Amino acid sequence: MKKIPQTLDDTLMNYLDGSLKSEEKAGLEKLLDESDMLRSRLDELRIIHFALIETKPDEPSKNFTQLVMGKLDGYVERSTFPIRNGIFLLAGILAAVGIVALLVSAGVFDQTQTVIDLNKINIPKQYIQQTLPAISINGKVLINIIVVLNLGLAWLVLDRAILKPYFERRMQTR
Amino acid sequence: MTNEEEFQCIDRVLAGDQQAYAILVDKHKYYAFSIAMKVLQNKVEAEEVAQDAFVKAFHHLSKFNREAKFSTWLYRIVFNTAISAKRKNRQIFQSIENTIVEYNPGSEGTLESTDKKKYVNQAMAKLSDADRTALSLFYLEEFSLDEIAAITNLAANTIKVRIHRARQRMADELTLILKQEALTL
């Protein structure tokens, strides 16, 4: 069976919606008089159109409002961050900490030392008359601080992104 | 209830009068439940999702900025909650034959109209969640295209085209269903 072009199908829908201009309507009605196929398609669309017009809102249970009001105080906001992503994040942090700890224990950062000489900073003489001290930074100490901070971060991720959502879900399924 | 009265009701809820929320639930429960039904096509799940959406809306009421209608904001929460619930239940295969077709014996008189409703529901079940919801809201005549677009997170122009196409697809499906029915007779 030959298919009706999309634009003509759209025009039939507009005809049923009553959104065609009078000349467009007259043109379509002429086409409908000439074509059985078009008339049959209009009938199909008309069945759907009138069935949908009869649509009424679905009716919830009679005690719907009471059930909602009863649930208001027991609401626990669930984390939208999936536990699986939390596990990946924690594994990433721990892997990075592990690699750095290995490098530290192998002595990679033992020789890393730098000195920041504050006198080399371009500050106008009228503000500072005294000689500024030079600050020595030990690479190993700096890396150790970063490792400790990462362990703190790992602990936070474990708590907020894994354990908390996990126990919330367990509470809700009971 | 006008928009202004609704905003006053929201103010009472925000001021601590929890019972005032029951007025809003009573007013919007039918459409909220209908939206959840259109997405989930299961009365028990739709009821739970609609209730959860109301509870969620209550706890985020202070975030409602009053630029849009409360109903649009609420129904968007219902739609998103229903979509999330459907995604979670996606593993459970539900064929069209198992789809619960809601039928209220009191509202239908003849066998013909019951059958028609059944076939239309079957054809509707084949549409996407967004198309089914948009089409239902469009025919419930309470919503403008812009409101439907805001509820379903789609552009108004897209909604118009989708409603057109959805009806055409439904007509095609219905023809197919009726042909199959005729063959089984």
End residue of a domain, out of B69, B94, B119: B94
pLDDT at B103: 40
Whose tokens are 């990433």? That residue is A92
Q: Mean pLDDT over residues B58-80, rounded? A: 90
Write out chain B residues lying below 8 Å of A44, CB-based: 171-172, 174-175
Domain end point (choices B70, B94, B118): B94
Position B32 scores a pLDDT of: 93
> Which CATH number do you get for residue B87?
1.10.1740.10
Contacting residues of B for A48, CB less than 8 Å apart: 120, 123, 167, 170-171, 174
pLDDT of res. B113: 60
pLDDT beyond 50 at B184: yes
Nearest-angstrom CA–CA distance, B40 and B70: 23
Asked whether residue B121 falls in the same domain as residue B76, the answer is no
β-sheet bridge partners, residue A114? A137
Q: How confident is the model at residue B74 (pLDDT cuts 50, 70, 90)?
A: very high
Q: Is the dihedral of CA B63, B65, B71, B77 positive or negative?
A: negative
**CATH classification at residue B105:** 1.10.10.10
| ipTM computed for the complex | 0.74
Per-residue pLDDT for B134 more than 80? Answer: yes
Question: Is the pLDDT assigned to residue A95 strictly greater than 90?
Answer: yes
Claim to verify: residue B111 and residue B171 sit in the same structural domain: yes
Is residue B112 domain-shared with residue B84, that is, in the same domain? no
Domain termination residue (choose one: B94, B112, B128): B94
Mean pLDDT value of segment A107-114: 80
Together in a domain, A22 and A92:
no
| Continuous H helices in chain A | 6-17, 22-34, 36-53, 64-71, 83-105, 139-157, 164-173
pLDDT tens digit sequence for A1-10: 567 788 888 8
- The pLDDT of residue A115: 80
Is B175 in contact with A13 (Cβ distance < 8 A)? no
Contact A65 B51 (CB under 8 A): no
Tell me the residue range of the domain where B54 lies. 1-94
Band of residue B91 on the pLDDT scale cut at 50, 70, 90? very low
Measured in angstroms, the CA of B170 and the nearest CA of chain A are apart by 7
Q: Work out the average pLDDT over B162-180.
A: 85
Q: How many CB atoms lie within 10 A of CB B148?
A: 26
Confidence of residue A149 (pLDDT cuts 50, 70, 90): very high
What is the reported pLDDT for B119?
80
Chain-chain contact of A57 with B34 (C-beta, under 8 angstroms)? yes
Q: Is the pLDDT of residue B104 over 60?
A: no
- Reported pTM: 0.65
Count the domains in chain B.
Answer: 2
**pLDDT tens, position by position, A13-72:** 888 888 888 899 999 999 999 888 889 888 888 888 888 887 788 889 999 999 999 888
